[in-house]
Amino acid sequence: MDFDFEKKSRKPLIMKIFIEVFIWAAQIAAVIFLAYFIIYYALEKTNMVGSSMEATLNDKDPIIINKLSYRFKEPKRFDVIVFKQSGREHAYYDIKRIIGLPGETVLIKDNNIYINGELVFDPVNAEPMDNYGLARDGVTLDENEYFVLGDNRNNSEDSRFASIGNITRDEIIGKASLRLSPFNFINKLNLKHENEEE
């Protein structure tokens, strides 16, 4: 009986090639999955549109949105958030700073911000407001709503005005975390020093 040694010796080689191809395909699948996860669930790059957040962010500043941040915790007062309101015609994201949290009443008078009747220190370097809008009479937020202001208080369409109004939790895309150029953490930009508290 003849034995085909050549046929026998090919089996380990074929198996080795199969394993290498499988590992290669698994690595590609992992990279694709990771890229998908990062883009849709973790991080996203966008640009600031307009001047409503000056001097914190300028028009066309590239920023990174941390989309994971609010999956594990709720937005906080003075966080800079990125949101997109349903039903709005424009395709770009809005970027503003949270002032009022769900269930609170926001009142602005004499250029001061009051939350539930208590004066709140505004940490942002901002010009005195010319127009308090709806907040002049007080705005009470529902349990899933946030009141936002632009840092450029006299050139910002924000929760003071009916055209924007309060932002709902499901409209928030994520936290504006990094400015890429020049590089900096957004929550460190354009803030008063603590000893400037009035």
Catalytically active residues, by annotation? 52, 96
The tally of CA atoms less than 13 A away on the side-chain side of residue 40 is 6
Q: Which of 108, 126, 128, 125 is nearest to 117 (CA)?
A: 108
Residue the block writes with tokens 């929550």? 187
The contacts of residue 163 (CB under 8 Å, 6+ apart) are: 157
Q: Identify whether the C-beta of residue 53 lies closer than 8 Å to the C-beta of residue 80.
A: yes
Amino acid at 98: I
- Angstrom CA distances, 131 to 108, 111, 142, 152, stand at 9, 9, 23, 12
CA-wise closest residue to 97 among 119, 123, 117: 123
